Each structure stands twice: as C-alpha cells, then as structure tokens.
C-alpha cells in the first residue's frame, strides 16, 4: 500500500497539468504566452527525428481537425522533445505532458525561437489517425506575402507590441505555420541547390512575384523578396528525403511536402516525403547568360571583373579548366581581367607562403589550354595572414593583362605589401602612380584583416588609365532577414563605408591633378548598388556605377538564398566615359555563368565592359 501511495504522489503533478489545445499554446504571436508553464497536449505525430544533442526523439505534433480553431493566425502544430519511452511514428495520436519552452535553434541570439514542449514523462498512445492535410502555399491556398518581411517592429520581435499580421508580414506568415504540414505546388527554383542541401522556391512558378526576371528573383531597395520559400531535405527516423540537385529555373512534377521549421536564420520546409521529380527547364525562363560574346570588336577593348572563389593550385582541376574556358571563350579573351579571391600557391595550407605566382600561372595555363590569348599576371602579396579570408589562403586581388591587347600595363617597381601607392604629378603635370601595381593605403585601419585594393596604371590609346581591383569587407555579422531583430541590421556596412572613403580619397587625388583622368574601380564590393558604401563612391559625380545602367532585372552577379543581387560592380570616371566616346559606347553587362548553377566554377558572375579605344587594333 505504501508503494501505491508513493506512485500516486509522484504522478500527481503530471495529472494536475492542465489540458490545452495546440492553437491556444501557439497563440497569435511569435512567443507563446504559456512559455514556462506545464501543460498536457493531444495531437497527431507528423514527423519523428532524433535530437542530436540529447538522443531524445524530437517530433512535430499537429492538432486533430476537431481541435483546430480554424484561424489562419495561429499555428496548429508545435515541436515536442520526448522523454524516454517507445518511439512514436507518423500518424500516432499522442497525449503528452511537459513544460513549454521557446527554443533557440543553434543557440544563436539572432535566430527566431520556436515553441517546444519538453516532455516530462513518456507519451501516451491513444490510437492512429490520418495525417492532417497539408496547408497549400500559393494561389491555391495561403499566399506568401510579397510586400514585406516585417513592417511594424523596431527592435526585438520577441517583445514586439505591434500587431501580428500573417496576411501582410512574411515573418508572421511563417510563424503562423510553425511545425505544420505544408505543401508547395508548381514550384520554380530561383537558386541552385546549396551545399547545405537547401533549395529556394517560388510557388505557382513565381506568378505572384513582381521581382522575378527569368530565373532570378532580383532584390531592390526595400524589397528583399519575402515570398521566397526555402526547402531542406528532412532526416527522420523513418527515412531521409533530400532535395534534388538542380540549377535555378528548375520546375517539378508535383508539390514539395513537409513541416514548417526554422534554422540558420531562415524559415524552411523540412521534407517529410520524397521530393517531386525534376522537369526539364522551361525555355521561356532560361537564364540569359550572354555566352559567346565573341572576340573584342575592332577599335575596342574589354575589361572584366571576376571573383574566382578561393582559387589556388589545390582547387579542383575541372574548376580551373572551366575558369580558363570562361575567360578564353565565353568572355572573348578580354584585354584585362581584375581578379578577386586569388589564394597563394599553397592554397589553404598555412605554411607561411604568400606568393600567388603558382595560382596565376595555373589560371593562365588553363586559358591557354582553352584556346585563349597569352596573359601576364600582376599581384603584390600581402603579409602572411594579414588580409583575412580562408586561414592559410592569403587571398588577394590581382590582374591579368593580355599580351597583345589594347591596354598595356605600365610597370614601375617599388610596390610591396606595406608600401602605399601614391598619386604623383608627372613632368607634364598629369597624374601617375608612384609604382605600378601598388596597394592603396595598406596601413589604413579600414583594411584590417581585409583585402587591400590593388591599383594598376595602363596605357589606353596612348593615355594613362588607372584601374583598381577591389574586394571589400564581407557581410559577416549582419543579422538575418528573418531574424529576431527587425528591421534586419547591416553593421558590416559601416566597415565598407570606411573602405569606400579611402577609395574615394584615392580617386579624388587622381581627379585633382586631372579632372578628365580615366579611372575605373571594379570587383567584388560585397554590397548593393543602392547601399551607402556604393553611394559614397558616386558622390558628387566622381564615378558612375555601371550597374545602374542595367535594366532592373539584370542587376545581379550573385544569388544568396534565392535573392539575386549585385555585389560586383564597375565604376568609371567621366573622363573614362568621354575617352570611350560617351555612354553609348560602353557595353556593360553580367554573364551569369555560375550563380544559377549548382556546380558553377565560382559563386560570382563576371562583370564585362566592352568600350571603344581610339587607335586600338581590332579582332585579335
């Protein structure tokens, strides 16, 4: 009798836990008003995984139809971490008791939380039920808001006093589906499958998105395309369901079905059944890659900016060969290629070496093997470990100049890793560089653990041309678009603004000696054409960003999580434009050779400028 009484006493707190509906627990907010309290819930298991940290079962539990509140403002599911006991299966109807917790995925403060029941005892199996019908995303069901991510929060969304608007705010829309079964029909891929097994899709083939241009979902100032839906392969106890390896523009024979989750700063559908088959790409939405530019026209020159993504002799030989074909064939053997992310000859091996001669020689050999012209490389090695990037790689910017091109490099000795290039007045009063190539203000704090720009003086039709290859500070440290802080913040922009201040000062020195100086800045600026750092470079008309000359749907060189965006730019001085015969003689564009492909030779697309040069020989 004492044992029985003891067991009853031990079970009394569990029995006293109040029963609640899942919709009441979730509520109409990003955080449950019952967080920290103990409740008993009943629902249907829709997925079963193993918590890698504890080994416990982690399930999604969704309301039976009889328990739903029929409101689109509240989720009818939540995550449950089960205590010891038999592992449930999808379709089990469970009663489970425990304490509610707002769980932070990965322990990262910028992530949104999701409501989780931490079970305090084994779940009780009540029977079997059919899985709840998934919510259709798109025109056939619930449309994903395309207007805004969040238009009424200023600060932490966890303590937001403002309204909860799933109909207009995408961040609220995905919260209102947290843990629920969803289906995405007639999907269009707007990015290639990522190395993390993620795929970014639009429902209804993108019919509701005004930002879609071909296969690219292009960002604009104030519009970061909240209608994107990320899908990730699910790993469950009853099987793995990966996403297919596809390029942007892929279509699918059926819907993607899974549960709505969140991780690494993004709401995402975790697949709970096999992905649909891939259909052949629709020719009407094929990417315009501008492939086959052909040789440089008579009387013209061609200049390219190309981030080659941590290139070294240790890179995949097939990738090196593709880059060689890009430069030799697709880009038509340009006169000058400004490179970013060139590693030293030992690649990521941290052996103290800094020279990139072996890397550049390998790329030149790949160009030659693809039938391209001969090139000469120009670089100045950084101090070991000083310029950031992949540890041991010593990435830097560099140039390739065609041996028989219309642009001839002016070589002046004296440059070095810590030697600042100076703008000097020549004997005729015109600007010249103290040494060429030369690093721009390498001792300035703006370049701390960041790539120092490299300036090169060239001859363009017998007149000096000053070109600077740039690779500004990355966006590391910015908060995610769908993160806890709204609106999202871009603190890294302050560092790039400081860097563009330095670059602007360098340009100003050239223009002070000759207002008609021919100046070009190009490369990976790691920021958008409408950002403050890029705005600083075009301030007062000193430079013009050629990205702004493109139609809105073509302003992209990179795709990040489905958002096509221009990070690579080319900026020219009025004197350069005049020397080329005016804006009508500047043919600028982006060749989308890599960003739309899951196996691209780089993660960036090259920018290409073909322009008239007086006295240039043609068709080389």
pLDDT at 280: 73
pLDDT of residue 161: 63
| Spatial distance between the Cα atoms of 524 and 606, rounded to a whole number of angstroms | 10
Q: What is the mean pLDDT of residues 231-238?
A: 92
CA distance 82 to 98: 9
* pLDDT tens digits along 272-286: 999 999 997 654 444
Kindly state the tokens that stand for 313. 């002799």
More confident residue, 326 or 5: 326
Q: Are 158 and 64 in contact (CB under 8 A)?
A: no
- Please report the pLDDT score of residue 445 as a whole number: 97
| 3-state secondary structure labels for all residues of 181-242 | EEEECCCEECCCCCCCCEEEEEHHHHCCCCCEECCEEECECCECCCCCEEEECEEECCEEEC
Residue 522 has pLDDT above 60, yes or no: yes
Percent pLDDT > 70 in the chain is 94
φ/ψ of residue 510, rounded to 5: -65, -45
- Residue 50: predicted pLDDT: 85
Residue 121 DSSP SS3: coil
Q: What is the pTM of this model?
A: 0.94
Listed residue (122, 28, 13, 21) closest to 77, CA to CA: 21
Q: What does the pLDDT average to over 580-604?
A: 96
The verdict on whether omega for the bond into residue 487 sits within 30 degrees of 0, i.e. cis, is yes
User: What would the mean pLDDT of 377-405 be, rounded to a whole number?
Assistant: 97
The domain segmentation of the chain, as residue ranges, is 13-128, 135-285, 300-612
Q: How far is CA 214 from CA 26, 281, 288, 548, in A?
A: 39, 11, 8, 19
Segment 499-525 shows an average pLDDT of 98
Report the chain's mean pLDDT, rounded to a whole number. 93
Q: Which fold has domain 13-128?
A: OB fold (Dihydrolipoamide Acetyltransferase, E2P) (2.40.50)
Mean pLDDT calculated for residue range 218-229: 97
Find out whether 374 and 589 touch, Cβ atoms under 8 Å: no
Q: Three-state secondary structure along 290-345?
A: CCCCCCCCCCEEEEEEEEEEEECCCCCHHHHHHHHHHHHHHCCCCCEEEEEEECCC
Whole-number CA gyration radius for the chain:
28
pLDDT in tens, 56-89: 889 999 999 999 998 999 999 999 999 877 889 9
Per-residue model confidence (pLDDT) at position 13: 42
The confidence score (pLDDT) of residue 17 equals 73
Query: Averaged over 140-147, what is the pLDDT?
Result: 94
Query: Rounded to whole angstroms, how far apart are CA atoms 342 and 398?
Result: 7
Residue 603 has pLDDT above 80, yes or no: yes
pLDDT digits (tens, 9 = 90+) for 285-302: 444 555 568 899 989 999
pLDDT, position 163: 86
Whether domain 300-612 has CATH 3.30.930.10: no
pLDDT at residue 527 greater than cutoff 60: yes
**So what's the pLDDT on residue 597?**
94
Look at residue 54 in the predicted model and tell me its pLDDT: 74
Q: Do you find a cis peptide bond into 518, omega within 30 degrees of 0?
A: no
Q: How far apart are CA 565 and CA 101, in angstroms?
A: 37
Which pLDDT score, from 0 to 100, does residue 281 have? 65
The predicted structure's pLDDT at residue 620: 52
Write out pLDDT tens, residues 15-25.
457 889 999 99
Distance between CA atoms of residues 530 and 191, nearest Å: 22
Residue 3 has pLDDT above 50, yes or no: no
Express each pLDDT in 466-492 by its tens digit: 999 999 999 999 999 999 999 999 999
Q: What is the mean pLDDT of residues 391-402?
A: 98
- Residue 71 DSSP one-character state: -
Distances (CA, A) of 48 to 239, 241, 523, 584, 596: 10, 13, 47, 61, 34
Q: Specify the 3-state DSSP secondary structure of 445.
A: helix
For residue 238, the model assigns a pLDDT of 84
The pLDDT, as a whole number, for residue 292 is 63
Joined tokens for residue 395: 């990435």
Helix (H) and strand (E) counts in the chain: 8, 38
**Average pLDDT, integer, range 47-54:** 83
pLDDT score of 375: 98
At 7, is the pLDDT very low, low, confident or very high (cuts 50, 70, 90)?
very low
Of 313, 321, 457, 308, the C-alpha closest to 397 is 308
Average the pLDDT over 21-30 and give the result. Answer: 95
Strands 77-81 vs 114-119: parallel, antiparallel or unpaired? parallel
């Amino acid at each position: 009798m004492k044992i029985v009484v003891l067991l009853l006493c031990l079970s009394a707190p569990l029995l006293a836990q109040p029963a609640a509906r899942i919709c009441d627990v979730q509520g109409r907010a990003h955080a449950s008003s019952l967080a920290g309290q103990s409740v008993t819930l009943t629902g249907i298991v829709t997925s079963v995984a193993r918590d890698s940290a504890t080994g416990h079962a982690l399930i999604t539990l969704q309301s039976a139809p009889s328990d739903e509140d029929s409101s689109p403002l509240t989720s009818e599911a939540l995550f449950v971490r089960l205590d010891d006991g038999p592992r449930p299966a999808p379709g089990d109807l469970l009663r489970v008791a425990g304490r509610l917790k707002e769980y932070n995925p990965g322990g990262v403060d910028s992530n949104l939380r999701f409501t989780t029941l931490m079970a305090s005892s084994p779940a009780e199996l009540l029977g079997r039920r059919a899985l709840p019908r998934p919510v259709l995303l798109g025109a056939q069901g619930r449309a994903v808001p395309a207007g805004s991510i969040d238009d009424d929060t200023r600060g932490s969304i966890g303590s937001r006093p403002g309204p909860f608007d799933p109909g207009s705010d995408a961040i609220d829309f995905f919260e209102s589906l947290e843990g629920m079964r969803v289906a995405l029909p007639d999907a269009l891929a707007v990015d290639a499958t990522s190395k993390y097994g993620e795929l970014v899709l639009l429902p209804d083939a993108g019919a509701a998105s005004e930002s879609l241009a071909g296969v690219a979902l292009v960002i604009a100032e104030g519009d970061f395309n909240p209608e994107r839906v990320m899908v990730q392969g699910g790993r469950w106890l009853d099987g793995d369901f990966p996403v297919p390896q596809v390029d942007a523009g892929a279509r699918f024979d059926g819907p993607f079905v899974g549960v709505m989750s969140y991780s690494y700063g993004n709401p995402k559908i975790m697949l709970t059944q096999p992905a649909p088959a891939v259909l052949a790409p629709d020719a009407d939405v094929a990417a315009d890659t501008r492939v086959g530019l052909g040789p440089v026209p008579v009387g013209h020159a061609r200049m390219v900016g190309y981030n080659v993504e941590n290139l070294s002799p240790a890179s995949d030989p097939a990738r090196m060969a593709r880059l060689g074909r890009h430069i030799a064939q697709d880009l038509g053997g340009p006169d000058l290629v400004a490179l970013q992310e060139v590693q030293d000859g030992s690649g990521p091996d941290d052996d103290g070496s800094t020279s990139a001669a072996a890397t550049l020689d390998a790329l030149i050999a790949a160009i030659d093997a693809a039938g391209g012209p001969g090139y000469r490389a120009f670089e100045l090695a950084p101090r070991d470990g000083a310029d950031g990037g992949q540890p041991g790689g010593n990435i830097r910017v560099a140039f390739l100049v065609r041996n028989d091109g219309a642009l001839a490099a002016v070589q002046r000795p004296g440059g070095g890793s810590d030697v600042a290039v100076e703008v000097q007045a020549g004997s005729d009063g015109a600007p010249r560089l103290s040494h060429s190539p030369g690093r721009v203000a390498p001792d300035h704090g703006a370049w701390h653990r960041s790539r120092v720009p490299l300036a090169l003086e060239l001859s363009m039709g017998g007149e000096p041309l000053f070109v600077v290859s740039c690779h500004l500070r990355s966006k590391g440290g910015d908060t995610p678009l769908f993160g806890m802080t709204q609106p999202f913040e871009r603190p890294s922009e302050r560092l790039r603004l400081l860097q563009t201040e330095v670059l602007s000062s360098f340009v100003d020195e050239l223009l002070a000696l000759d207002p008609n100086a021919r100046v070009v800045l190009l490369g990976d600026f790691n920021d958008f054409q409408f950002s403050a750092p890029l705005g600083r470079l075009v301030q007062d008309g000193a430079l013009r960003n050629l990205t702004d000359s493109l139609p809105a749907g073509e302003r992209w060189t990179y795709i990040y999580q489905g958002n096509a965006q221009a990070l690579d730019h080319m900026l020219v001085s009025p004197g350069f434009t005049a020397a080329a015969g005016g804006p009508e003689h500047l043919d600028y564009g982006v060749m989308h050779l890599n960003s739309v492909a899951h196996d691209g030779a780089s993660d960036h697309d090259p920018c290409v400028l073909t322009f008239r040069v007086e006295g240039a020989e043609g068709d080389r």
